[in-house]
Structure 1
Amino acid sequence: MSEDDQKIIGRGTWIDKLAHEMIEREQQLGRSTSMLRVESGLGASGIPHIGSLGDAVRAYGVKLALENFGYKSELVAYSDDLDGLRKIPEGLPDWLGEHIAKPVSLIPDPFGCHDSYGMHMSSLLLDGLDNLGIKYDFRRARDTYKNGLLKDQIHTILTNSEKIGTKIAELVGQEKYQKYLPYYPVCANCNRLYTAESYEYIPDEMKIKYRCHEAEIGSKMLKGCGHEGEADITKDLGKLAWKVEFAARWHAFDIRFEAYGKDIMDSVRVNDWVSDEILNHPHPHHVKYEMFLDKGGKKISKSLGNVVTSQKWLKYGTPKSMLLLLYKRITGARELGFEDIPTLMDEYNEIEDVYFGKVKLDNEAKTARTKGLYEYTNLLNVPKTPSIHVNYRLLIELGRIFKEDRVNRITKKLIDYGVIKNPDPYIDQIIQLAGNYADDFEEQEIMQIQINDATKNALRKLVDVLVAEKDPEDLQNAIYNIAKENNVLPKDFFMTLYQIILGASRGPKIGPFIMDIGRNKVAQTIGKYT
């Protein structure tokens, strides 16, 4: 089936397709659709990166699509702040080593501004969601367990622990839950989580017996304190193992959709079975996504220090640029770095042009998908008129030139170039972002451009003109003549220069712009392509 023949669902994006599949499944299951709740789990053990944020942002997109289809929906943002600290994230103080295996909600905040390490990390993620305009119902693991909201699910799971342990071994080959219960109490003596092994459940009292023995954390064995005790699952601090905890939450909160990363596929398979067979609650509709990778191809990790945070991203790019990144697609691993911001900033302008009919695409499905992507990037609250568009890389280059009184001087240049007619508050904001980028990052990486031999010859001639001792009398005219003399269409030659200098197919009048950047600097850049 060609793209033209495909049925357009909702606004034509993967988000609409996913929400539509979810609704169909709910109808087949015969469940009430009066509230279709979606969930995102927030890790609280390290500095949250854009991948962590992406889980919640995409779930919110599904919520918006469900509402667009006429259903009530809400996003539960669940912070796992009873998770134990497994290692010290890069850049954090060594004294955190004393707290390895303790729940992050019981560890002091290294930055001294929140009630715990876990709440500090959660707050960074929530701040990122707030800055993007994401609405959510925030729930903490510590409060959820302390208030007994999962006690019925924990009881059912523990009374079926033998059956669950056998199934876990069958599904994923993990045998420890045949020996121990899938529940970790917080040791009453040392406050550690994973060293406390539960070995017996007393159903009538809803208590477990445990001994604080040892646990493998990462690749190291951590000794327990030797304490033996009992813990009440209705009020004492403790948590279910990941292999069963998702299922308990899905049941307790009536979750109908949750995405997951490929790194927890095994846990999701087990939880789906526990939800379906033990708790008699059909597991949520899922979609699997891949991890963001750094530019070296490694998984972006909260503990490795290769973190692209939303706070830093928003120093250089708009919230819309981040939402565009997260809503473009969900499948496939992607390398991600701050150097992607210029492309996304300009791509937002391109899809806005499609939405407002300034650019026509070649088929209906592609047009619908692009317009839908623009709508979701604006969280279905679309502006009535398009913004003023200025090439972000142009602003970076001008930001490298003008450091003092940057906004006013760059605005004047944009008016001189004919790029804008008047000063504008939105353009002021983009100039500031691009200026931050210019200050913090080196030159742009070399763009991959197809250049034929005639154009290469013309570029060499232009380099000679640019490195000459005297300024050319009329650089714009000189560039035009160089193109003609080398049998290159001037408009094609200008486009090649824009691609080399700005990564765009057009820009301001090229001669004055090159003089502003500096002849030698542009000559060096062009020389890389000859």
Structure 2
Amino acid sequence: MSEGRDERDLALEARAWPFEEARKLIERTGGRTPDKGYVLFETGYGPSGLPHIGTFGEVVRTTMVRQAFQRMSDIPTRLFCFSDDMDGLRKVPDNIPNKELVAGHLHEPLTQVPDPFGQYESFGHHNNAMLRRFLDSFGFEYEFQSSTDWYRSGRFDQALLAVLGHYDEIMEVMLPSLREERQQSYSPFLPISPRTGRVLQVPILEHDATAGTIVFEDEDGARTELPVTGGHCKLQWKPDWGMRWHALGVDYEMSGKDLIDSVKLASRICSILGSRPPEGFNYELFLDEEGKKISKSKGNGLSVDEWLRYGPPESLALFMYQKPRAAKRLYFDVIPRAVDDYLKHLAALPAEEPARRLENPAWHIHSALPESQPGEKTDISFSLLLNLVGTANAEDKAVLWGFISRYAPEATPESDPLLDKLVGYAIAYYRDFVLPTKAYRRPAGAEAAALQELLQELEALPVHADPETIQNAVYEVGKRHAEAFPGLRDWFKACYEILLGQEQGPRLGSFFALYGLPESRALIGRALAGELAGGLAGSAGNAHLQG
């Protein structure tokens, strides 16, 4: 049996959620290539605003399922990132220039609204370009698709005529889902006024499946007949979703938990049109720091750009990978843990058995082994770097690399570019989030005695003692002072509060080794002298590197 075949067998049995999702497609296809020649994955994008963290989450998760399927099957695959750019602009966004220019084009298709930035032929084209640039920056493999192109080129014509032919059945699906007032004016078709160019939500007075036309009252009161084909109409979004699945032959699309009912309606419409609805699952929504749902309009939560200021894109991909069906807080304080978890998974990947490797999140982030293995040369975590930045009082990468090079001589910015980026992320994160909350305190009597003993233990160690030896010394001091610290956790908490000005911290053996034993001894001495609590923390932390 070949190596490739071995991996396929393992993939068919893997328990990681992308493989579970991919098995739905194995069952759907029966192992045979669909008539269209490929399995089609799709994600959707509403280009009334810039791409956001939900866009990234949907594309990266769909990509993970696609990669898992490709390990199970030789059936070709494609991923469409579909932009609903024919939707009418409902309101003027707050974060654009030239608002008055855009305000004069409300309810026109987004690809007809002038670009307020003056860079593209329309606002829709501008935001579509931002989407492609956004996805390209992460290296996603996808094919961009425009709703405007599909409608106006006629590629949706047959599907639109099918919707018209099943008009009454589709209305029976949609009307019970609407408020009574909305039922009176609802139609799956939204005509585009030939007089004003606006997308109209008006009652359809007549529909003729044979002629392929609808009749409605235009904004000036004129009774107007239009073909449903050729881009003269578009569909309301739920019928549009079902029609698109039918027309494109979509096999897989995921969506947020808030769209469960919409998925059911679109699936029924897709079935009415004669196609099988796609596979997929509903992921949970993100919460802000207060546990409230994140809203684009409210601006609560975290943007992609904000995350990438403090952590690598792979850490964001890991956050999206973990427990997609569980609601998770998406705020700044989740970044350090996500970065360190990513580093651990990445470092473990090369040595893992093939079956276990398929369960490693780093495998799904990189689609197997990455070309290089940054981060495995040293055991320097992001949390260690954060504490190094604070204790050394350094915002200069060169100063921090002075500590790192002494701790791990083989590591350099050139040989470990990921670590070099982490240093930069740590500086930014520390400055913006850790420093404002630091609060050193003086050691109490029993704590002072324990710290004095710890200082003596560290003075007895050779200057290049390894992290484990230092950690054991810290443990032993805590154990000998059990009356003051009933649990070792109490001892470490006291060390963090007194030496680092925070309630939680890194493994002290690793931190003291990275910071340097001479510097760590000096740090404890300054804490005992009351200098740290007096606001002088870190003022001389990098003196040995300065001169």
| Pairwise TM-score range, normalised by the shorter structure | 0.7 to 0.9
The alignment status of 1:440 with 2:432, answered yes or no, reads yes
For 1:342-381, what per-residue CA distance to the aligned partner results, in whole angstroms no more than 9, with x for missing partners? 11110011112332348x9xxx98x45642x210111335
Bigger shift: residues 248-257 or 384-393: 384-393
Distance of 2:444 and 2:133 partners within structure 1: 50
Q: AA paired with 2:255? A: Y
Q: Say yes or no: does 1:423 pair with 2:412.
A: yes
Matched residue of 2:295: which SS?
coil
Cα 1:230–1:384 change in 2 (3 A) is same
Query: What does 1:192-341 align with in structure 2 at a 5 Å threshold?
Result: 192-212=198-218, 226=221, 228-276=223-271, 278-306=272-300, 308-341=302-335
Moved more, 85-94 or 245-254: 85-94
Amino acid aligned to 2:315: S
Residue pair 2:191, 2:234 contacting (<8 A) in 1 also: yes
| Partner Cα distance (2:358, 2:531) in 1 | 40
Structure 1's 33 and 78: CA in aligned 2 closer, same or farther, altered over 3 A? closer
The separation in 2 between residues aligned to 1:193 and 1:370, in whole angstroms, is 48
What's 1:165 paired with?
171
Is the 1:458–1:483 contact (alpha carbons within 8 Å) kept by the matching residues of 2?
Answer: no
CA distance in 2, matches of 1:299, 1:486: 46
How far off its partner does 1:46 sit?
2.3
The structural deviation recorded for 1:400 is 4.8
- Which residue number in structure 1 is paired with residue 336 of structure 2? 342
1:47 aligns with 2:35: no
TM norm structure 2:
0.77
1:17 aligns with 2:5: no
- Map residues 99-178 of structure 1 onto 2, 5 A cutoff: 99-170=105-176, 176=182
The answer on whether the counterparts of 1:187 and 1:227 sit within 8 Å (CA) in structure 2 is: no
| SS of alignment partner, residue 134 of structure 1 | coil
- Pairwise CA distance, 1:282: 0.7
Q: Which residue of 2 aligns with 1:56?
A: 59
Specify whether residues 36 and 476 from structure 1 end up closer, same or farther in structure 2 by C-alpha distance, changes over 3 A only. Answer: same
Counterpart residue identity of residue 423, structure 1: T
Give the C-alpha shift of residue 148 in structure 1.
Answer: 1.3
C-alpha change, 1:435 and 1:175, in structure 2 (3 Å) is same
Percent identical: 26
Between 183-192 and 479-488, report the one with greater CA deviation: 479-488
Q: Check whether the contact 1:34–1:72 (CA below 8 A) recurs between aligned residues.
A: yes
Q: Is the 8 A contact 1:89 1:302 kept in 2?
A: no
SS of residue paired to 2:78: strand
Cα distance in 1 between the residues matched to 2:216 and 2:531: 69
Alignment check: 8 A CA contact 2:14 2:359 kept: no
Which whole-Å CA distance do the structure 1 matches of 2:58 and 2:130 have between them?
15
| Conserved? CA contact 1:90–1:304, under 8 Å | no
RMSD of Structure 2 on Structure 1 (CA): 4.0
Pick from 83, 92, 101: which aligns with 1:79? Answer: 83
Question: Between Structure 1 and Structure 2, how many residues are aligned?
Answer: 487
Distance 1:513 1:34, change over 3 A: farther
Look up the SS of the partner of 1:299 in the other structure.
coil
Given that residues 243 and 267 in structure 1 are in contact (C-alpha distance below 8 angstroms), is that contact kept between their aligned partners in structure 2? Answer: yes
SS of 2:280's equivalent in the other structure is coil
Other-structure match for 2:538:
none
The alignment partner of 1:380 has SS state of: coil
Q: Which whole-Å CA distance do the structure 1 matches of 2:532 and 2:207 have between them?
A: 73
Give the distance between the partners of 2:451 and 2:340, measured in 1 at CA: 31
1:468-515 deviation digits (Å, cap 9, x = unpaired): 9xxx98694599596355236998778654694535575321763586
Structure 1's unaligned 5+ residue stretches are 1-6, 213-223, 447-456, 526-530
Q: 1:122 to 1:406 in 2, by over 3 A?
A: same
Distance 2:135 2:204 in 1: 37
Q: 1:266-304 CA deviation, whole Å, 9 max, x = no partner?
A: 22111111111x211111112111111222233222222
Partner of residue 41, structure 2: 38
